[in-house]
Amino acid sequence: MIYLDNAATTLRKPECVVEAVTRALCSMGNPGRSAHDGALSASRTVFEARLALAELFGAESPDRIAFTANATEALNIAIKGILNPGDHVITTALEHNSVLRPLYEMEDKGVELTILPADRQGRLKEADFEAAIRANTRAIVCTHGSNLTGNLVDIGRVGQIARRHGLLLVADASQTAGAFPVDVQKMQIDILCFTGHKSLLGPQGTGGLYVREGVEVRPLLSGGSGVQTYLRRHPPQMPTALEAGTLNAHGIAGLLAAVRYLQATGLDAIRERELDLMERFYRQVSAIPGVTVYGDFSQRMRCPIVALNVRNYDSGEVSDALSSQYGIATRPGAHCAPRMHQALGTVEQGAVRFSFSHYNTEEEIEIAVSALRELAQEE
């Protein structure tokens, strides 16, 4: 199989990640629940992972990193934990349903919602953020990179706008954490939500959020914490406040190994390799008659994603043909990004998304390009 669905999840993981998860499964107890070797090993691994992620994201302290099962859980915690009825929140048409659906829930509970539009190339206007701010605006919730087009948002500029107006910035780094430099302090991000199974190269079932010191987030869950058992309410201190129940320490062990791999290999080197492969693919497929490519490719700094359609074929039909006839794995359909498809005019057809890893090869790119040429010639 030629795997070009890395924006959904990276299939090929570094060998050190596989080894770390295997070791953890055979040795770890419950982190923070006892003082025997298994529990202490798990606790040390979880803390080292917090430390590594805090360093990766420029956080003030490892205590500001709370673990979740994925970015969706992190975004639900952030959105539902900072907004109240009567608040106003700004988001964008680029967002994934993991942002939109929690915001719609909060809108039903009395939160006012503004969704900034995108143009036909999936781009935002910076001025729209300023224009949307009201007296009761509480936060901006914004993706760092579109999971459909690959377009990046200048999250640092959004952070400046938010800080200037006294707003909270919640950034969704699902597509960018591990691929692009993210410094929460320099970018003035108050809450950063991330997942482990994409560009961080970790296992599924891992993710988390950074919460800036001084920002209070209501816990989404309460329950076992391993500490302060006799409190009636869940402990309020970070990161325990946002981590009810047993953590996925086995997965976190893999995530720690993945972050160390990224640091040793170099985010820049990995990203440049992925962008080289993406550009090689984009240059060729964008010249094929009958192929329509979506997104803004005028800047090199973008997620390594190419979304396209072949003539008027349904995207699912094209993706199925790529898989069954050529052994190429892609993602068709709506990509949990309904408003982005509305902006692109692809609601009915969807789109076929190709997304690249540094483990892909030039030969695989050429096979994918050749497959699209053949499919585009079929009448």
Q: 249-265 and 37-57 are packed helices; what angle lies between their axes, rounded to 10 degrees?
A: 40
State residue 325's pLDDT score: 97
CB atoms near residue 85 (< 10 Å): 9
Per-residue pLDDT band at 39 (split at 50, 70, 90): confident
Question: pTM for the complete prediction?
Answer: 0.96
Contact by Cβ (8 Å): 343, 117:
yes
Q: Which 3 state secondary structure label does DSSP give 113? A: strand
For residue 125, is pLDDT > 90? yes
State residue 31's pLDDT score: 87
Work out the angle at residue 175's Cα, subtended by the Cα atoms of residues 9 and 325, and round it to the nearest 5 degrees. 40
For residue 173, is pLDDT > 70? yes
Do 266-377 and 15-265 have the same topology in CATH? Answer: no
296 Cβ neighbours under 8 A, 6+ residues apart: 121, 122, 123, 149, 151, 302
State residue 272's pLDDT score: 98
Taking all residues of the chain, what is their mean pLDDT, rounded to a whole number?
96
- Give the closest residue to 255 by CA, choosing from 201, 304, 179, 298: 201
State residue 227's pLDDT score: 83
Q: How far is CA 91 from the centre of its chain?
A: 16
What number is the average pLDDT over the span 251-268?
98
What number is the average pLDDT over the span 54-75?
98
> Which amino acid, 43?
S
CA-CA distance, 264 to 231, in Å (whole number)?
Answer: 42
pLDDT single digits (tens) 302-312: 999 999 999 99
For residue 32, is pLDDT > 80? no
CA-CA distance, 248 to 55, in Å (whole number)?
Answer: 21
For residue 33, is pLDDT > 80? no
State residue 126's pLDDT score: 94
State residue 265's pLDDT score: 97
State residue 244's pLDDT score: 92
Where are any strands of DSSP class E within 6-69? 65-68
CA-CA distance, 360 to 4, in Å (whole number)?
Answer: 8
State residue 38's pLDDT score: 83
For residue 378, is pLDDT > 70? no
State residue 234's pLDDT score: 87
Domain 266-377, second-level architecture: Alpha-Beta Complex (3.90)
For residue 379, is pLDDT > 60? no
Boundaries of every domain in the chain: 15-265, 266-377
What number is the average pLDDT over the span 55-83?
98
Q: Under CATH, which number does the domain 15-265 receive?
A: 3.40.640.10
> Which amino acid, 175?
Q
5 Cβ neighbours under 8 A, 6+ residues apart: 11, 329, 330, 331, 353, 355
CB atoms near residue 320 (< 10 Å): 13
State residue 305's pLDDT score: 98
Residues annotated catalytic, as ranges: 336
Contact by Cβ (8 Å): 98, 71:
yes
Q: Is the dihedral of CA 129, 132, 134, 140 positive or negative?
A: negative
CA-CA distance, 67 to 81, in Å (whole number)?
Answer: 15
